[in-house]
Amino acid sequence: MSLTDLSSEDLTQLQTEQRAAYDELVAKGLGLDLTRGKPSQAQLDLSNALLALPGEGQTVDAAGTDVRNYGGTQGLPEIREIFAPLINVPVDQLVAGDNSSLAIMHDTIVYSLLKGTASSEQPWGSGPVKFLCPAPGYDRHFALCEQYGIEMIPVDMFDNGPDLDAITRLVADDPQIKGMWVVPTYANPTGAVYTEQVTQALVSMPTAAPDFRIFWDNAYAVHHLSDTETPALDVLGLAAAAGNPDRVFVFASTSKITYAGSGVSFFAGSPANVSWYLGNLAKRTIGPDKVNHLRHARFLQSPDGVRDLMRKHREIIAPKFEQALAILDERLGKYDAATWTHPLGGYFISLDVLDGTATRVVQLAKEAGIVMTGAGSAYPYGKDPRDRNIRIAPTFPLPEEVSAAIEGLSTCVLLAATEKLLAG
Amino acid sequence: MSLTDLSSEDLTQLQTEQRAAYDELVAKGLGLDLTRGKPSQAQLDLSNALLALPGEGQTVDAAGTDVRNYGGTQGLPEIREIFAPLINVPVDQLVAGDNSSLAIMHDTIVYSLLKGTASSEQPWGSGPVKFLCPAPGYDRHFALCEQYGIEMIPVDMFDNGPDLDAITRLVADDPQIKGMWVVPTYANPTGAVYTEQVTQALVSMPTAAPDFRIFWDNAYAVHHLSDTETPALDVLGLAAAAGNPDRVFVFASTSKITYAGSGVSFFAGSPANVSWYLGNLAKRTIGPDKVNHLRHARFLQSPDGVRDLMRKHREIIAPKFEQALAILDERLGKYDAATWTHPLGGYFISLDVLDGTATRVVQLAKEAGIVMTGAGSAYPYGKDPRDRNIRIAPTFPLPEEVSAAIEGLSTCVLLAATEKLLAG
């Protein structure tokens, strides 16, 4: 049974039911927030040993460097050794930074605009700059482009990655296209995983711009929700083998491994890109927070230490995803009224409602005390061309709050759909 | 007795003595480094309680915010409350950031170049940009300008601040002059303290550029070396009273209070500047390292906690300055062969040797195993017009190393001077 096949009488009947359910919902006076991909308190508690680390007397790294003093732009060797295998990059091509990988992305863009990349003849900013933006995607990536006047070209996202035909055509023709956003593993918000075949195509395709860069934000590389623990691809190796060693900037962080905002961020790239990045970084700062690197290295111990920790995260958040998916299936499945993703990792469920109703759904939910990320926020300039996409972030609320929010949201989805269909 | 008054015979005699002393020095095979203004291990040890703070179970700030999660761009209220009185700014106009104030300076320049300041009609980068650079000054300030193609205009530094006549004339005439570097308290490297009168002039002077900014880097605001604990001026209040509330960006950090590279940095400004800075910052990052803010607040406790800690720093480093000054006086004073500063705070002694010999002195010292910052490094583009200035950083080495280094350096100063005078 599809909503669009219902008779006018049946639709009216359904609307009456959902209106009643909605009135009940509003009466409950909920105050729920599913806006941001934030870890929950229970997840943060997993890393509380950090609060007393590295511990008094722990002042030097494995090489004997005093972590309390200036220097060491590339970051502590021991924290780089833990994360290099997890994101599948050579340890000497990995830089450990401060508390935010978004900040590293910002800075690489700024350096490229003002100085040019290692392959640029001129600074990017000497002419118009465009980025390809697979959408739905991460709103903060798009906000960075908007901030610096970089024109965003949306590209459709499919289950295994973005629209390669469109991408290869666009980059081959337009030398102003200097960059492309990618969240390769458990993409924000769809959960899509870029396959090796897709990745191969992206690092191999001819580009009109010699200084084209893929911003490979592996934010969820180890954030599995199932036993299918997809390993990170050797994207730098693939790019080098394809003859484009400098095409990829890799980013990652511990924001959703340890603490959000007090973790360690990472940059990786070809030797030329690492040298370029560190050269620019050395003008900006005399060194990263090495005490925090030591603190994290002592806490995480090894790549397996990280994997074990991530399984504990999964124990906390996977049930929330399962609950949310079960409620969506129960409430919306029979009407064929929406589609949604079933992610194997990451922090989001991407919900596509009836075309033209996402804004109304988010508004209805808000008035019922359920705050969702604004409709369209996963698209460049906040413009979802079909006004259908809603990002669900189930990690932060308590399990019962997730259930209540998704129940309420489902009511809003059906109510908005019947409104639209009856009006049409 | 001045070196320049000596007869050729006396000069030759002096040179012979200094050559012998230098040969002995080289034979010692020293390995001393006086290049950077780094805290010593004994200073770092003062803050070792930080290594186990905030401590397990300490997860929220005074307002009840979980410091382990995202958010709070302006930084923890309690750390801002401790530092606001110390740098004499209103607490609500103070932002607490991550581990590097140099990084904040970098970012304010980048935002100004790419977006413009709160008072700019266009981004600074839409035309040529010039900065006034009182010199000798801080090499990393000058490196930021060089990195982004900002033309540096050197201005002489005197004992109580820079050449105001030159500055007021230049900024009145040239709208391309957008900025000026200031280290107001215990300037790097001269130790000069900007008086209220000088500051008043700087915040009041008419400028051709409506978006002219003073980069007020109060890096040594509480870093006293004597009982004269000069308090920070209310530079924001003075600027507002002069009708130029948005003229000043204030910077500070705990790099030389707690740990260098793992401390907390600060930005302060007018309400318009703070709003501008936070608006840009919010695109770059989801928040600062609030756990480190809490760690520092618990350790430092109060403004008086900081003052007490700084007195302990003074106990460790003031004797090194005294030693260095005593040796300079003993070895060089009688010849009138050089002048040097007697700082009441900060991290440096600025030594002016015989014109045209600084490069030679640094080279001689290096060959004797005493590494000094390169001659000219305290000047824009590394060019000391009189080749006379050498920056001495006595804090990091052990006391006996400081003595050995300054003894050796004095020999080099005299040897280079006699070489020059006999050749001339």
pLDDT tens across B287-304, in order? Answer: 999 999 999 999 999 999
B70 vs A284: CB contact, 8 Å cut-off?
Answer: no
Phi, psi of A303 (to 5 degrees): -55, -40
ipTM: 0.97
Q: pLDDT at position A4, please? A: 84
A48 touching B (Cβ < 8 Å): yes
pLDDT tens for each residue of A279-294 = 999 999 999 999 999 9
pLDDT, mean over chain B: 97
pLDDT tens for each residue of B74-112 = 999 999 999 999 999 999 999 999 999 999 999 999 999
The residue of chain A with its CA nearest to that of B280 is A147
The residue of chain B with its CA nearest to that of A147 is B283
The residue of chain B with its CA nearest to that of A71 is B261
Phi, psi of A31 (to 5 degrees): -140, 75
pLDDT tens for each residue of B386-413 = 999 999 999 999 999 999 999 999 999 9
Sole residue written with tokens 């941001």 = A36
Judged against a pLDDT cut of 90, whether residue A15 lies above it is answered with: yes
B52 touching A (Cβ < 8 Å): yes
Q: pLDDT at position A316, please? A: 98
Judged against a pLDDT cut of 90, whether residue B216 lies above it is answered with: yes
Rounded Cα distance, A79 and A71, in Å: 16
Judged against a pLDDT cut of 90, whether residue B146 lies above it is answered with: yes
Interface of B with A in 315-374 (CB under 8 A): none
Query: Are the beta carbons of A295 and A50 closer than 8 angstroms?
Result: yes
Judged against a pLDDT cut of 80, whether residue B424 lies above it is answered with: no
Judged against a pLDDT cut of 90, whether residue A393 lies above it is answered with: yes
pLDDT tens for each residue of B147-205 = 999 999 999 999 888 999 999 999 999 999 999 999 999 999 999 999 999 999 999 99
Phi, psi of B370 (to 5 degrees): -115, 105
A291 touching B (Cβ < 8 Å): yes
The residue of chain A with its CA nearest to that of B68 is A259
Question: Which of A44, A66, A110 lies closest to B41 in CB terms?
Answer: A66
pLDDT tens for each residue of B322-374 = 999 999 999 999 998 899 999 999 999 999 999 999 999 999 999 999 999 99
Q: pLDDT at position B211, please? A: 98
B311 contact partners, CB below 8 Å, separation of at least 6: none
Rounded Cα distance, B295 and B79, in Å: 9
Q: pLDDT at position B336, please? A: 87
The overall pTM is greater than 0.80: yes
| pLDDT band per the 50, 70, 90 thresholds, residue B2 | confident
Question: Which of A50, A57, A102 lies closest to B285 in CB terms?
Answer: A102
Interface of A with B in 137-166 (CB under 8 A): 140, 143-144, 147-148
Cα A134 to chain centroid distance, Å, stands at: 12
Q: Give how far A392 is from chain B: nearest CA, Å.
A: 18
A111 touching B (Cβ < 8 Å): no
Q: pLDDT at position A159, please? A: 85
In order of their start, the domains of chain A are 3-43+308-423 (3.90.1150.10), 61-301 (3.40.640.10)
Question: Which of A44, A59, A143 lies closest to B68 in CB terms?
Answer: A44
What is the torsional sign of CA B110, B114, B115, B121?
Answer: positive
A148 vs B114: CB contact, 8 Å cut-off?
Answer: yes
